[in-house]
Structures are given as C-alpha cells and as structure tokens.
Chain A
C-alpha cells in the first residue's frame, strides 16, 4: 500500500458542454514539492477543488495513502483556495483558532498552533486585528497560516505566490520547503515558472484539462529537442547542414535546433570550417520554454 502519497487518478469533470478535466492523473509523494503549471482555464483549480471535495468529479478518484479521500482525511489537508477566503470582520487569532478547531484540533492545541504560526509568519503585532484591516500581503500570510494551522498531512495550495512581495515569497518558499522535508506532500499551482523551476522537485504541466507532461525539471528538459548556441562571425554555414534548423540569427550569435540523432560534433566541425567559434554551447530550455512548447503543441493537436 502506498504510504503518504496523494494520488489523483483519472479525474474527469464537465460543466455542461465544456470539458474542464479529462482523465487528469498524477501523484505527489511524501516530502515532495510538486509544481502544477498550466495556462488559465487549463484545469488546475478544478483539480484542486475536487481533491478537497469542494467539487464533485464526474469520474475518477482522489486517494491518500491508498484510500479514497473522505471528509475525515480531508480535514488533514491544508488548503489555500485560489480566491482567498477569510472572514473579513474576524480577528486574526480568533480566525486561525476557529479554523484549527474546525479541522479537528482541541481548543488548547488550536490556540497553541495559531499563536505558533502567527509568530512564524511575522503577524504577532496584528494578531488581534480584524483581517479586513490588514494589508494585502499580511492577509496572504494569514491565509497561509490558515492552511497550516492544523498541522496538515498534505498541502494543496492554489497560486500561493500570487500577489506576494519578494520577502513574503521567500517566507512562503521556506515554509513550503520545510513542510516538504518534514514528509508532507506539497502541491501548488503557479504562473511564476522560474519560481516553480527553482523550488519544485517535480513539475506537472496541464493543458486543456489533462496532464501533458510531468517529471523533474531535468526529465522534462531532456524530453525537448536539443538546441545549440553558436557564436561565430561567419554566417550562413548552418543552413545547409542536415538535421539542423536555424531558429534565430542575431548578429554573430545563432541558435540552432537539432533533429533527433544529429551529432553536435559534426555541427561544431562545420562551424569551425566556416570561421572562428567564440562560443559553442548546448542551450537548456527553461521551464517557460518547455511550457510554451508543450502548450502550443497540445493546442495544435486538439
């Protein structure tokens, strides 16, 4: 039986004629930060809401530790919805204590945990203020505390980094890393791909309601076509090479895309034959490029 694994297994959801999710599957393992990326409307939020039982799936299943998630296991999930939600007229401390209690903590335990997270997230001066009086950044911190206050076994966060200042981004990243290393599977969605690339152990790219690619950033990169950057005063030498396409020619700098099986050493020889080579490097695609690539290919195929 899988231990401490959140499995999303073949979830589908339709809204009338619109297909929101089609056979969405992935899993998040213990101690892992899983980044969930995809364009707007790809189905990230719908997936998370289904995982939390806020929406019902048409088919498919969400499992935790090999068992279908029910209300009791859901209480052990920390959730940050895309649309931030707190009682505007409730004090920070009261709010966190209430949410901790609703997730099954005893009153004393709830108080202790709420105070703990208030201190950790730098909200001590604001603990008796109403949420609506806080700055947006501080409201975000309270929202994170709300997801963490019951010491959840799993974290599901929808766009946790949106609207955060750089300091808060660091705090958030640190907390997520810490939770992951404590053995909590963490899944979060984000449009900040550089952040996802830096932070996540694994990444899943969603397009049109299904998972189109998932794995470590390195795995995803190796799947893409290889590119070379060559800096040389000579021009035009690459156009005639077999299996090579010139993607970009910017002054003396030229970016080449190699078809599968093309030998990069042959390209180097050809370049040297044409003139001096000042730079010759393999370009590793960023997650942004991978994402663009995947999403546009998918867009064409559907």
Chain B
C-alpha cells in the first residue's frame, strides 16, 4: 500500500465521520441562520434609516418635488403623502407611520414631529423654504431666477484629496472583518477538532492498531487533511450563502470584491489550518484524556484569540499602522490579519507575498517539529508527556 493511499484512507474516514455528525450539521445551520438574521436585520435598519415619510397638507403639497430633490442631494429618500384631515395625520405622526407632518403655506410653514425630528429632513425643508422665498424675491426684483440658479450651480469649492478615498471603503472594511471573523472561527474550531481527534484515538487506544499498519506521519497528515477539508467545506458553504444573501438584500455590493475576498479567505484558511492543525495535534498527543486537553491547548487558542481581538481593533483604527502591518506579516497572526487587510485593500503586494512565504516556511518547520512530537508522544499513555521528552530523538 502506498503512503498516499494510507493518507487518503485516513483523510476520508475523518471527513466522513465528521460531516456525518449532528454537531457539524447543526453548527453549520446555526451559523447560516445567524448570518442570515444579521443580513436581514442590516437591510431593515438600512431601509429604515434611509427613508422618511412626510405628510404634506394644504399648500405645502406643492413642496413635494423640491423636498424630494433636496433630501435626495443629502442622501436620504423622502416619500411624501398628501393628507387632508389634520387629526388623523397627527395620530400617524404619533404612531410613527409618518416621520413628519408639514402644514401651512410658504413662507410660514409648520412641521410636526414626534420627538426631536430628523435633523437632515429639517435642514432640507429649511433649504427648500429659503429657496422658494429667494425665487419669489428675485422675481420681484426682476431677475430671472433660472439665471441665478444656473450661476449658483456653477460655483463650488474645488477639493483636492491628498489621499483619495475609496468609495467602497465601508464595504471593504465590512468584508475584511467578516473574513477575519470566519477564519478565526474556522482555525479555532477545526484546530480543536484535530486535537480532540488525536486524544480520542489515544484514549480509545485505537491508535495502537492504526500505528501497526500506518506510520505516525501518515496518520497525522490524513487527519489534518480530512478535517481541513471539512472546515473548508463549511467555510465555502457559509461564505457562498452569506454572499448570496448580502447581494439579495443589497446590504453590500459584493460582486468582484466579495469574490476576491472569498478566494483570499480560502488561501489563508489553508495556510492557517496547516500551520495551526499540526501544533494542535502535537499538543494533543502529549495528553491521554479529553479532560487534560484544555490545559495544553490554551496557549495555542490564546494566540489565535489575541490575533483576532487585538487585530480587529487595530484594523478598524488604522489598518495600515505599523503594529498591524508587522503583526499581519508574522505567521501566527497572518492567517487572520492578512486576509482582512487584503479585503480592505490596504496590503501592498510585497507584504502579501512576504507573509505567504513566511507562513509556508513556518508550516514546513512546524510540520517537521510537530510531526516529531506527535510520533514520540502518541503511544505514550498515562501521565502527560513532557514536551522536552517528546522532542528528544
């Protein structure tokens, strides 16, 4: 039997055994449900914030179009309704189906709102009102209002941006954070899964039968590949559904941006998983019972958690700052921070390349070292094996 066949048999078993479990199916469903809920919520909030319903009564109805135009230039959408009975309309303001009620004739307009009212809407209405007054007075003075409007439109401040602002920056940040969060979740969950698998084999002693027919490195590699594939499958399912939902609900304009983020996410998942899974497996091979597992995994989990928590905060603050830049190059942190920075579009090509090279070098070193620890420790049951002993030979 070739080593490749042995590795693929082990990988297949790990994959099938994990995908079949209820926890995997339920876990995936829960994540998708949370994601869907988040997207729907976002789109509702989005809609709500961006749209105001204004009731217009009497002579105020003629302001409908100018108000819509003016509000539109401020980036909010206004829907107007003509109202006839004042008491009804006031009640509608009270129960929130109208955001504002405008009555009276220009220039003596009255606006009725529930609480403090929308600042932007008020400004827009004031502007419209002033313009109407201005037009009326210009007409009185014998000047063509159209001419003035034309002249006014031609006047504006010339703005020169030293650092051009990406119109998609907000979306990029959102995608970057989501990618970092997904990678954080996948690395932590699937790394722990590898560790649990190693201990399960050790505590159930099945490893002794297995190692009579396959070599330790084949068993380790098969396990890492099999569980890595499960993680990849889950990542792909979640991101695809996430992207589809986001574009369906118009939360972010995904398109090319989302596709690239997905691709870098997959690349970094693979790099990160191979980096961490071997460490998880080697650490797990030191203990014989699931109860002892937590103590050896904590330092590894902490590294990932720190990379995520600290990284996210720094990334939101200054994605190109020196701390984030350096951290995102270092192998233990790169799998979470670099794809985030890449999605935000703030990582130059040389940094991406450098971090990939460093990660690959770290994977080679870790696999060699972790494989050795695993091979030395996996058959030693009972007391926890000291790392120093496992590194011998």
Contacts and interface: CB of A to CB of B under 8 A. Distances in A.
A99 B1 contact: no
Contact of B209 (A71, A85, A90): A85
Contact of B9 (A55, A77, A102): A102
Q: How large is the interface on B (under 10, 10 to 19, 20 to 34, 35 or more residues)?
A: 20 to 34
Given A54-B208, A87-B206, 5 more contacts: A54-B379, A71-B213, A79-B208, A87-B201, A104-B1
Interface of A, secondary structure class, is loop
Interface string A59-78: 00000000000011011010
Interface string B193-208: 0000000110011111
Interface in A74-131: 74-75, 77, 79, 81, 83-90, 98-99, 101-104
A52 interface: yes
Contacts of B379: 54-55
B9 A85 contact: no
A103 to B, nearest CB: 5
A84 B215 CA distance: 20
Nearest to B6: A102
B51 interface: no
Nearest to B205: A85
B381 interface: yes
B212 A53 contact: yes
A88 B205 contact: no
Interface string A202-244: 0000000000000000000000000000000000000000000
B133 interface: no
List the 9 closest pairs (A to B, CB-CB), nearest first. A85-B205, A85-B206, A83-B205, A52-B212, A81-B208, A104-B1, A79-B212, A75-B213, A102-B213
Given A54-B379, A88-B200, A102 B208 contact: no
Contact of A87 (B1, B21, B204): B204
A180 interface: no
B17 interface: yes
- The residue in B9, B207, B210, B213 that gathers the most chain A C-beta atoms within 10 A of its C-beta is B213
Contact of B208 (A74, A83, A88, A104): A83
A49 B207 CA distance: 12
A146 interface: yes
A83 B381 contact: yes
Nearest to A90: B17
Interface of B: 1, 6, 9-10, 13, 17, 21, 200-201, 204-215, 379, 381
Given A86-B204, A89-B17, A104-B1, A77 B209 contact: no
Contacts of A72: 1
B17 A102 contact: no
Nearest to B16: A94
A125 B357 CA distance: 54
Given A88-B200, A102-B214, A75 B1 contact: yes
Contacts of B210: 102
Contact of B205 (A75, A84, A99, A102): A84
A98 B13 contact: yes
A88 B201 CA distance: 9
Interface of A: 49, 52-55, 71-72, 74-75, 77, 79, 81, 83-90, 98-99, 101-104, 146
A146 B209 contact: yes
Contacts of B204: 85-88
A160 B287 CA distance: 27
Given A90-B17, A102-B9, A81 B205 contact: yes
Contacts of B6: 102
A81 B204 CA distance: 11
Nearest to B214: A102
A74 B213 contact: yes
A54 B1 contact: no
Contacts of B17: 87, 89-90
B215 A71 contact: yes
A98 B15 CA distance: 13
A53 B375 CA distance: 13
6 contacts: A55-B379, A81-B208, A85-B206, A88-B204, A102-B6, A102-B210
A87 B215 contact: no
A146 B6 CA distance: 17
Nearest to A74: B212
Contacts of A102: 6, 9-10, 210, 213-214
Nearest to A77: B212
Nearest to B379: A54
Contacts of A85: 204-209
B377 to A, nearest CB: 14
A147 to B, nearest CB: 8
Contacts of A77: 212
Contacts of B381: 83
A68 to B, nearest CB: 16
Given A75-B1, A102-B6, A102-B9, A86 B206 contact: yes
